Amino acid sequence: MQLRFHNSLTRRAEDFRPIDPAHIRMYVCGPTVYDLAHLGNARPVVVFDVLARLLRRVFPHVTYARNITDVDDKINARARESGEPIGAITARTTADFHADMRALNALDPDVEPTATGHIPEMIALCEKLIARGHAYAAEGHVLFSVGSFPEYGKLSGRSPEDLLAGARIDVAPYKRDAGDFVLWKPSDTETPGWDSPWGRGRPGWHIECSAMSWKHLGEVFDIHGGGHDLIFPHHENEVAQSVCAHGTQTMARYWLHNGMLLVDGEKMSKSLGNFLTVRDILARGPWAGEAFRYLLLRTHYRSSLDYSAAALDECKAELDDFYAMLARPAPEARTPRAMVDWVLEPLGDDLNTPLALARLRDLRTLENIANVGGSPAAVHARTPEAWHPVPGEARAAVLEAAQVLGLLWQDPAAWRQGGGDADVDAAIAARLAARAAKNWAEADRIRDALKAQDIILEDGPQGTTWRRA
RNA sequence: GGUCCGAUGGCCGAUUGGUUAGGCACGGGACUGCAAAUCCCCCUAGGGCGGUUCGAUUCCGCCUCGGACCUCCA
């Protein structure tokens, strides 16, 4: 399967040509652990989780690295405000992050380096950059010299003049050039710091990712991912650091950036009152994690995505339909390879998850037709060949393809009836007796009483089943 | 102000130089004691103005609107 990705570096869709097809290496910028993950933080996690699953399906060996930034001035500020020790904040927030992302069925990356675990590598990078004339020490700082790297601005598509013209920061006096950025900065006794050739200090943000990707993926690797808002300055600076330190042509061959997530049409912010954490979503119910994942995947990863509670409910309804199909007894059947490939094919085209989901729904319809009856003509108009509905086959294909999307991993009965213990069997038996006596009023009364508890009965050929609304 | 991205039905969202996928909502039907689930049908849309073309939603230009970034935001 040939993969194609839109490469931010060239602003074009390109065929994916691995550096080493036997070993694919991907790095994605992870969270700064000072607060609970918000909805926007979850988007790159889910998007690149799907990409990692796809890569693992296509290539024999994949190393996916996603870092934890656990040294940062936002963390320091949080500790000063709350009085909680920094180590406690980062440990708790990291655990919360892991729990939240697992609730979205995002697999753990293969390696999850921490910034504090890679201070020696960061110092080594600073020394290499100074030795090569790309950085200089000044007043306890180490600064990257933007003027030493002619290609600075290539990733973000800016010229150094543009960057300078748009700069809205105060230029520190020790900077040789307004665009120079910090690799290392001094720490006072109240601030976390590590001994270095330039005195006790701490790393700048950008150097962390250069150090961690170098350590775990090498000087040049295949894919670098992250949010679109990180292109400048974070990724631009990463490229400058890594390329200049190692003397390589590039840092990563393919740069993938996900679009921003909006809430009710506006960017999330605490001042607007539309700031939502993943935990807020998960509190909606046991279905909410998967419904949110579905919501993220039904929009192409590069588009901006507008979150709303109504959209989340719609995603739950769509998953209800899938789980209704999966809950129906089905015979063991072979998994038709062609059906799985047909669903996954769009993923190879710059991770077109919305089209893959549409095809997954077509397979669901095919399975329903095999079991319940109907005409496959509408589905056949879209499929590459007229697959005959055979009970169990499309179902098996749905389950295998959904694994790559990280969907439909839950037990269908648990999905339909989960969210609390309910003993409805006795009520169903009583209603069955009333129906046998053609006492429709009593039968409907029982059904309505259950409905008042959000329990929906479904009479089918194999008897009566139930689910939660 | 600069750089870049986008605009598709009531809503969400793909594909495409030649009758605009799919989903949700709405409406109708089959099935059902009535429902639910399922299936069938219906709903046929490309911001505005130009250009290229036999033909433009698709390619190009301008305008409008929205968004991202412009030195530590996913």
Domains and CATH numbers, chain A: 20-261 (3.40.50.620), 300-416 (no CATH), 424-468 (no CATH)
Q: How far apart are CA A279 and CA A37, in angstroms?
A: 8
- Name the token pair of A390: 């055979």
Q: Give strand pairing partners of A138.
A: A141
Question: Amino acid identity, residue A340?
Answer: V
Q: Are strands A463-468 and A4-7 parallel, antiparallel or unpaired?
A: unpaired
Q: How far apart are CA A457 and CA A462, in angstroms?
A: 13
Calculate helix-pair angle for A393-405, A39-58, nearest 10 degrees.
120
Q: At residue A168, does pLDDT exceed 60?
A: no
% residues pLDDT > 70 (chain A): 95
Contacts of A121 (CB under 8 A, 6+ apart): A211, A212, A214, A215
Which nucleotide is closest, CA of A353 to its C1'?
Answer: B14
Kindly report the backbone phi and psi dihedral angles of residue A4, in degrees, each rounded to the nearest multiple of 5, phi listed first. -130, 140
Q: At residue A33, does pLDDT exceed 70?
A: yes
Q: How far apart are CA A129 and CA A148, in angstroms?
A: 10
Nearest residue to nucleotide B66, by CA–C1' distance, is A265
Q: How far apart are CA A185 and CA A344, in angstroms?
A: 47
Q: How far apart are CA A228 and CA A250, in angstroms?
A: 19
Which nucleotide is closest, CA of A435 to its C1'?
Answer: B33
Do residues A197 and A123 lie in contact, with contact meaning Cβ atoms separated by under 8 Å?
yes
User: Residue A296's closest CA among A285, A307, A309?
Assistant: A307
What is the spatial distance, in angstroms and rounded to an integer, between the CA atom of A233 and the C1' atom of B63?
32
Q: What pLDDT, on the 0 to 100 scale, is given for residue A112?
A: 97
Express each pLDDT in A342-393 by its tens digit: 999 999 999 999 999 999 999 999 999 998 888 898 999 899 999 999 999 9
What is the spatial distance, in angstroms and rounded to an integer, between the CA atom of A393 and the C1' atom of B46?
37
Q: What pLDDT, on the 0 to 100 scale, is given for residue A372?
A: 85
Express each pLDDT in A42-80 by its tens digit: 999 999 999 999 999 999 999 999 999 999 999 999 999
Express each pLDDT in A233-280 by its tens digit: 999 999 999 999 999 999 999 999 999 898 877 777 666 667 889 999
Residue A64 CA, chain-centre distance (Å), reads 13
- DSSP letter (8 states) at residue A336: -
Q: What pLDDT, on the 0 to 100 scale, is given for residue A175?
A: 84
Q: How far apart are CA A290 and CA A287, in angstroms?
A: 6
What is the spatial distance, in angstroms and rounded to an integer, between the CA atom of A193 and the C1' atom of B66?
44
Express each pLDDT in A287-311 by its tens digit: 999 999 999 999 999 998 989 888 9
Q: What pLDDT, on the 0 to 100 scale, is given for residue A274?
A: 74
Which nucleotide is closest, CA of A304 to its C1'?
Answer: B67
Q: Are strands A305-307 and A261-263 parallel, antiparallel or unpaired?
A: parallel
What is the spatial distance, in angstroms and rounded to an integer, between the CA atom of A288 and the C1' atom of B45?
31
What is the spatial distance, in angstroms and rounded to an integer, between the CA atom of A204 and the C1' atom of B72?
7
Nearest residue to nucleotide B67, by CA–C1' distance, is A304
- Name the token pair of A178: 């307004």
User: Residue A161's closest CA among A174, A178, A136, A145?
Assistant: A178
What is the spatial distance, in angstroms and rounded to an integer, between the CA atom of A361 and the C1' atom of B43?
20
Cα torsion at A274, A275, A280, A281 (round to 10°)? 70
Nearest residue to nucleotide B38, by CA–C1' distance, is A372
Which nucleotide is closest, CA of A299 to its C1'?
Answer: B13
Q: What pLDDT, on the 0 to 100 scale, is given for residue A173?
A: 78
| pLDDT (mean) for A5-18 | 89
Which nucleotide is closest, CA of A366 to its C1'?
Answer: B39
ipTM value for the complex: 0.91
Which nucleotide is closest, CA of A456 to its C1'?
Answer: B36
Q: What pLDDT, on the 0 to 100 scale, is given for residue A128?
A: 96
Contacts of A253 (CB under 8 A, 6+ apart): A7, A17, A19, A220, A221, A222, A223
| pLDDT (mean) for A300-327 | 91
What is the spatial distance, in angstroms and rounded to an integer, between the CA atom of A355 and the C1' atom of B18?
23
Question: Amino acid identity, residue A134?
Answer: H
Express each pLDDT in A110-162 by its tens digit: 999 999 999 999 999 999 999 999 999 998 999 999 989 988 888 888 766 66
Do residues A153 and A160 lie in contact, with contact meaning Cβ atoms separated by under 8 Å?
yes
Longest Cα pair distance anywhere in chain A, in angstroms?
Answer: 92
What is the spatial distance, in angstroms and rounded to an integer, between the CA atom of A345 and the C1' atom of B56?
28
Q: How far apart are CA A154 and CA A232, in angstroms?
A: 10
How far CA A344 is from CA of A1, A77, A193, A380, in Å, comes to: 10, 45, 48, 17
What is the spatial distance, in angstroms and rounded to an integer, between the CA atom of A198 and the C1' atom of B54?
73
Do residues A312 and A284 lie in contact, with contact meaning Cβ atoms separated by under 8 Å?
yes
Nucleotides of B under 7 A from a protein CB: 1-6, 12-15, 21-25, 32-41, 67-74
Express each pLDDT in A412-450 by its tens digit: 988 988 766 667 888 888 898 899 889 999 999 999 888
Q: What pLDDT, on the 0 to 100 scale, is given for residue A166?
A: 44
Which nucleotide is closest, CA of A177 to its C1'?
Answer: B71
Which nucleotide is closest, CA of A225 to its C1'?
Answer: B74
Q: How far apart are CA A117 and CA A115, in angstroms?
A: 5
Nearest residue to nucleotide B35, by CA–C1' distance, is A458
Residue A209 CA, chain-centre distance (Å), reads 18
Q: Are strands A24-28 and A62-66 parallel, antiparallel or unpaired?
A: parallel
Q: What pLDDT, on the 0 to 100 scale, is given for residue A171?
A: 65
What is the spatial distance, in angstroms and rounded to an integer, between the CA atom of A311 and the C1' atom of B13?
12
Q: What pLDDT, on the 0 to 100 scale, is given for residue A421?
A: 62
Q: How many CB atoms lie within 10 A of CB A103?
A: 19
